[in-house]
Amino acid sequence: MQMPDKKKYFNRNFLYVGTLIATVILIPYFLRNDYYLHVLILIGLHAIIVLGLNLLMGYAGQISLGHAAFYGLGAYTSGILTVVYGFHPVIAALIALLFVGIIAYVVGVPSLKLKGHYLAMATLGFGIIAGIIFNEMKFTASHLDLPMGGPEGITDIPKLYLIKYNLNIDQILSLKLSDITGVSQVVPNLYAFNIVLDNDLKYYYLVWTFTIVILILSSNIINSRVGRALRALHTSETAASTLGVDIQKYKVSVFVISALFASIAGSLYAHFIASVGPSSFGFHKSIMLVVMVVVGGMASIWGSIFGAAVITLLPEVLHVFEDFDIIIYGLILMLILIFLPEGLTRGVIDRVKGRFFK
Amino acid sequence: MKGKKFLLLGFLLIISAGLLVASCEKAPPELTGEPYVIGGIFSVTGRASFLGEPEKKSMELYAEIINSEGGINGHPVEVVIYDDEGDATNSVTLVKKLIEKDNVLAIIGPSLSGNTLSIIPVIEEKEVPLVSCAASVKITQPIKKWVFKTPQTDVMAVEKIYEYLIANNIKKIAIITVANGFGNSGKEQLQLLAPGMDIVIVAEESFGPEDTDMTSQLTVIKGTDAEAIICWGTNPGPAIVAKNIVQLDIKIPLFQSHGVASPKFIDIAGDAANGIILPSGKILVAKELSKSDPQRKVLLNYKKLYEDAFEGSNVSSFGGHAWDAMAMVTEALKVSGTDRALLRDEIEKTTDYIGIHGIFNMSPEDHNGLNKETAFVLLKIEDGKWVIIE
Amino acid sequence: MTFVDQLLQFILSGITQGSIYAIVALGFTIIYNSTEIINFAQGEFVMLGAMFMLTLNITLGLPLPVAFILSVIAVMIIGVLIDIIVISPIKKPTQLSLIIITIGASIFVKGVAMFVWKKDYHAATPFSGEVPISIGPAAITPQALWVIGITGTVLIFLHIFFEYTNTGKGMRACAINPRAASLLGIKVKRMVLISFGLAGALGAIAGIIIAPITFANYNMGLMLGLKGFCGAVIGGLGSVPGAIVGGFALGILESLGAGLISSAYKDAIAFVVLLLVLFMKPTGILGKSESKRV
């Protein structure tokens, strides 16, 4: 009975993912401009976090008002390890992942015993504590003239590279070449193995690869046993627990997963912007992430991407209004919740369906 | 129910339409040449709006004046200003927007040091001249090819205060700084310069940018043998510190930073402001400067223009950073035209520009171009008035 | 200054600060009590109170008591309007959508305030001068005594209102069980409306009495709102005495943290304690786990 349904579902999902991949690949051919690519990268980064947050909020029904802290922890760990201690970016990102996972577990275990507003307050408190630590923490290293960190943040974070290896025999080679031809010329460095993501286009593809992988991962989580347990938990915790679902375990796992996603986004952010500062990971950012989930649509994977896109683009569009942009921003938020409480994706689809399939 | 909703919708739409009209009232310039576009990124809203607001106004005012005087070689100046809301991520997005979408020749701002430091990699990569309005020494030391800044570094302000302390035989001080970029930079310099001048910092306290009571920190300071208190912050914190000091009956002298050098400080701190000593740009005491001071005329002119153009707002020292930046960039544009590399070279050649915050002499070794003699004067507040004490 | 003298001053400073948080926390409690909504716009009510007071008292020169009452009424109306325009049209309210919509409302209100009153900080006139009052070796400003006194008065009024008036009893009933309350003939919608009006008025009073201490600008609401929310949770969400106890506890904690441990981390210390309270006794110091009582 269930099989055909499931198959159909998967086919449709493949179609969607395929369309997304095609769009991601094609967009740069139309938007050849670093500014647009930059905004698209930000959307990708936000989408990664929002996918995780949506697992937590939409599927497991738990509120987090402190997710920017995990984003920031990922970014800061990557930044500090690469700049102050000279780690390879990939290793730094993996350490960040481990670190954020542990923090999320430690915070999650006691927090997720709380419900509703108490959980909201606990996560908010955690976010504010992390923000204060970002603002106060300082690092000194022998190769730095002044201590790094504090309100000015960590700067000079290297571009993300996979391999940067130079045999240093290009000198000899170029010498030979000019000897032979009699013309001194710049020769491409043949004996250096560089895979560096040094421009926005490469980075765009990298970030969106991550976004799509995480999208598929999230969709698998939802359709697995864990996902069903989560939904049971969201509908009624009491019912779920009587059916033998270990609620606490599932809640904490989802919380940790969502923190890990945020950490990945954070590491990617650090190497993209090349600096991390406390102003980017405060209470406002946490709220913005929650708004993305709600605007995109709770318990909707595609809504996460959509929510991230809309809320990231909105300020760019609203710059026209100068100082009034914050008024309009508040207005739009209220209007969406009043008129499309299910989020933009659901809300719009439902309306269209309601009109044509009555 | 439904009717109510649509009523609401209509109401909201009217508001939005009104705002749209209100924000689009700028008249286009009438000059014929291709406009020279200069970008600006300031923290116009958010925590640092006290910086961004006057900077934005000054930049717009400067462009308006230069256009009314015939522009630059017949080309009108067009300014495109974005608000980063104090968030460094926004600054990076906006700097790319200015370069890629608005195709600006040079960029002025951001207002904050952290935000300036985050956009430097983009500036260096895209090779666009940047004149920052943020103070941190890290911006121009070491020298970055495309990056300049107009504000005085905190070193100069700290030196001014320390010199006064030594002259008055004060050796032990307590510092209380705000926990943001401004306070942090001040704290670093206060700590760095103290040993060299034989000054001992006996207490280090800090407060949050939105804190409303500092009596606890000041009680700790009161318990030490400090002979003076130096407070480094921007409104409203330092005004609360001043009031709390009166409340706790602390008798030792209070020094403030140039971060509160605006009439607003006296306005909100009231009687508690009296007796406070602080380093400041000369703009606050333009009238009192000696007639021979070359900056006097420039300052009075800026003050008059600003206060005429923006009724009800007092000139502060922060707007001057953007004003000086605009002056140097437009001066360089006269020679360079639309060539960014040439523009950069011309900005670096700026000599003897008499600005709001001192006399600028840029060079390949110095991308700030100020010295402490012209940048700061030491002021004392007496009966709600600024008095020069040198 | 001996250590004991310092300690006395820390506690006195903490009480001053705490009374501010307590009165903000009360606003949260009123709305939560009758609707279970966490109103993130509460901080903006505080800001509006302070700004209206400044305009009426200083710019227009109205006498202090008149300006006080007019400001409270103005913000009360805004509170009611927020309920009518923003909260009540929501079809299927969930905790989360209500949180977000109050955040939307607070962003909107803040934006309008920035437009109307600009970005500058303003100083309000203290009610009775600025000569500090000495209590032994420590000192307190007269305005702080006003804050403490008015917070106490408000507490007494709220107690009488909830315990002895029909409206107050009705609001409590709505909180415990809205459906049962409506079956008993209580108009739930009206109770929500009244609670928003009341929260607006409380916020306004808070803003008016603290403006001479903290200075006022359009952005003052956020941090105060967060601290007030924090205080309300520490004391026990939904409990009026809890809000007062929580607010004072938070204030004293911050002040002791700043004085004895580290001023840079004082907010962090306060929030760590909040987390500990939540983890150990989630319902707060005075909250009861089962039925809610006022």
Token pair listed for A300: 């909707």
Determine contact, residues A218/A52, Cβ cutoff 8 Å: yes
Residue A146 has pLDDT above 80, yes or no: no
Q: Is B372 exposed, middle or buried (0-12, 13-18, 19+ CB in 10 A)?
A: middle
Per the structure, how many domains does chain A have?
1
Instruction: Note the Cα A63 to chain centre separation in Å.
Output: 18
Determine contact, residues A218/A301, Cβ cutoff 8 Å: yes
Of B314, B310, B353, B352, residue with least CA distance to B330: B353
Residue A178 has pLDDT above 90, yes or no: no
Domains, chain C, with CATH or none: 3-280 (1.10.3470)
Q: Could B223 and C6 be called an inter-chain contact, meaning their C-beta atoms sit closer than 8 Å?
A: yes
d(CA A12, CA A28): 26
Structural domain harbouring A212: 31-160+197-356
Q: Count how many pairs of residues, chain B against chain C, have C-beta atoms within 8 Å.
A: 110
Best probe of the B interface among C87, C115, C215, C269, by most B CBs < 10 A, is: C215
In a domain, A14, yes or no: no
d(CA B236, CA B264): 10
Q: Could C38 and A117 be called an inter-chain contact, meaning their C-beta atoms sit closer than 8 Å?
A: yes
pLDDT digits (tens, 9 = 90+) for C80-124: 999 999 888 887 777 778 888 898 999 999 999 998 998 888 888
Of A151, A135, A158, A195, residue with least CA distance to A80: A158
- Is the preceding peptide bond at C142 cis, omega within 30 degrees of 0? no
Best probe of the B interface among A31, A129, A144, A152, by most B CBs < 10 A, is: A152
What is the bridge-based pairing of β-strands A192-196 and A161-166? antiparallel
Chain B contact for A151, CB < 8 A? yes
Question: Is the CATH number of domain B154-280 3.40.50.2300?
Answer: yes
Q: How many residues does chain C have?
A: 294
Q: Could C119 and B210 be called an inter-chain contact, meaning their C-beta atoms sit closer than 8 Å?
A: no
Among A5-14, A217-226, A306-315, B39-48, name the one with the lowest average pLDDT: A5-14
Who contacts B51 (Cβ-Cβ below 8 Å, separation ≥6)?
Answer: B42, B43, B111, B112, B133, B234, B318
Alpha-carbon gap: C261 to the closest alpha carbon of chain A (Å): 15
d(CA C165, CA B165): 64
CB < 8 Å to A109, chain C: none
Determine contact, residues A289/A312, Cβ cutoff 8 Å: no
Higher pLDDT, residue A189 or A271: A271
pLDDT digits (tens, 9 = 90+) for A7-28: 666 677 788 889 899 999 998 8
Q: What interface predicted TM-score (ipTM) does this complex get?
A: 0.88
In a domain, A3, yes or no: no
B positions 299-328 inside 8 Å of A (CB): none
B32-151+303-371 and B154-280: identical CATH topology: yes
Residue A179 has pLDDT above 60, yes or no: no
d(CA A37, CA A51): 21
In a domain, A65, yes or no: yes
d(CA B345, CA B335): 10
Q: In this complex, which of B207, B243, B246 lies closest to C263 when CB atoms are compared?
A: B207
Residue C12 has pLDDT above 80, yes or no: yes
Alpha-carbon gap: C83 to the closest alpha carbon of chain B (Å): 13
Q: In this complex, which of A115, A126, A294 lies closest to C100 when CB atoms are compared?
A: A294
Q: In this complex, which of C38, C100, C222 lies closest to A291 when CB atoms are compared?
A: C100
Q: Could A122 and C99 be called an inter-chain contact, meaning their C-beta atoms sit closer than 8 Å?
A: no
In a domain, A87, yes or no: yes
Q: Could A324 and B8 be called an inter-chain contact, meaning their C-beta atoms sit closer than 8 Å?
A: no
DSSP A121-180: HHHHHHHHHHHHHHHH-EE--TT-SS-EEGGG-B--PPPPEEEEEE-S-HHHHHHHHHHH
Q: Give CATH superfamily name and number for B32-151+303-371.
A: Response regulator (3.40.50.2300)
pLDDT of res. C128: 87
Closest-CA residue in chain B for A338? B5
C positions 194-233 inside 8 Å of B (CB): 210, 213-215, 217, 219-220, 222-224
CATH number at residue A50: 1.10.3470
pLDDT of res. C96: 79
* Look-up of token digits 């200075």: C215
DSSP-derived secondary structure letter, B72: B
* Look-up of token digits 């603290």: C210
In a domain, A293, yes or no: yes
Q: Going residue by residue through chain B (390 aa), what tens digit of pLDDT does each one get? A: 455 556 566 665 666 555 555 554 444 445 678 899 999 999 988 878 888 999 999 999 999 999 998 889 889 999 999 999 889 999 999 999 999 999 999 999 899 988 999 999 999 999 999 999 998 888 888 899 999 999 988 888 899 999 999 999 999 999 999 998 889 889 989 999 999 999 999 999 999 988 888 999 999 999 999 999 999 998 889 999 999 999 999 999 999 998 888 888 898 898 999 999 999 888 888 888 888 888 899 999 999 999 999 887 778 788 999 999 999 999 999 998 889 999 999 999 999 999 998 899 999 999 998 876 777 889 999 999 999 986
pLDDT of res. C112: 93
Interhelix angle C221-235/A116-136, rounded to 10 degrees, is 130
